[in-house]
């Protein structure tokens, strides 16, 4: 049974990877498969666990612990995150998509998750940028994590696939 499970993980990892390797981070509690050619981001903040960006630097994905009170549910956390974007002076939220629920794979279990997208204008003098943000919150029972991916618009299909493949490759321990 254990061998079958490990074989299933191996096959799933290779189906997503297309030659990429699984990267383990967050004190060995999370892992993902980073798309080929992507590099570790230097734009990390103090609260960022890790981040990556596409070769052309138009797309990025950042992981962090939410930092919110553990009594808040994932919808409440996502509400708070979106509200922070809405009151930001450097971002104009044009549209927030309805929330979708999902799961993050774990070793022998699944963890609840919630997902949304935002269409925004990033206010950056002298030129503003149209962007799409992908917001993902999941709860491992011990920690609530937040993933923020973003890409300049128009979002190319390959970029959207890379973002979603990276997120879907996520395994929590």
Residue 168 has pLDDT above 50, yes or no: yes
Class of residue 147 by CB neighbours under 10 A (exposed 0-12, middle 13-18, buried 19+): buried
pLDDT of 154 higher than 70: yes
- How does residue 110 score in pLDDT terms, banded at 50, 70 and 90? very high
Q: What is the mean pLDDT of residues 95-102?
A: 96
Q: What pLDDT digit, counting tens, does each position of 118-131 carry?
A: 999 999 888 999 99
The mean per-residue pLDDT over the stretch 75-95 comes to 95
pLDDT of residue 24: 96
Question: CA 161, CA 156: separation in Å to the nearest integer?
Answer: 9
| pLDDT at res. 64 | 95
Q: Tokens at residue 54, please? A: 């596409």
Beta-carbon contacts of residue 11 (< 8 Å; ≥ 6 apart): none
Bridge partners of residue 99, in order along the sequence: none
pLDDT at 10: 36
With beta carbons less than 8 A apart as the criterion, state whether 172 and 140 touch. yes
The Cα 21–Cα 69 span in angstroms is 34
Instruction: Output the pLDDT for position 7.
Output: 30
Fold annotation for 2-172: Protein Transport Mog1p; Chain A (3.40.1000)
Residues 7-64: tens digit of each pLDDT: 333 333 333 344 478 999 999 999 999 999 999 998 877 789 999 999 999 999 999 9
- Ranges of each domain in the chain: 2-172
């Amino acid at each position: 049974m254990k061998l079958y499970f490990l074989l299933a993980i191996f096959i799933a990892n290779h189906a997503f990877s297309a030659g990429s390797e699984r990267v383990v981070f967050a004190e060995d509690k999370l892992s993902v498969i980073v798309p080929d050619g992507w590099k570790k981001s230097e734009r990390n903040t103090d609260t960022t666990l890790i981040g990556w960006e596409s070769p052309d630097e138009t797309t990025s994905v950042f992981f962090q612990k939410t930092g919110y009170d553990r009594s808040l549910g994932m919808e409440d956390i996502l509400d708070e995150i979106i509200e922070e974007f809405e009151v930001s002076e450097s971002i104009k939220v044009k549209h927030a998509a309805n929330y979708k629920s999902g799961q993050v794979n774990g070793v022998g279990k699944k963890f609840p998750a919630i997902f949304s997208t935002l269409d925004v204008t990033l206010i950056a003098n002298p030129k503003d940028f149209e962007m799409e943000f992908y917001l993902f919150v999941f709860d491992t029972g011990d920690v609530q994590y937040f993933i923020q991916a973003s890409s300049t618009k128009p979002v190319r299909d390959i970029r959207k696939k890379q973002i979603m493949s990276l997120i879907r490759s996520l395994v929590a321990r």
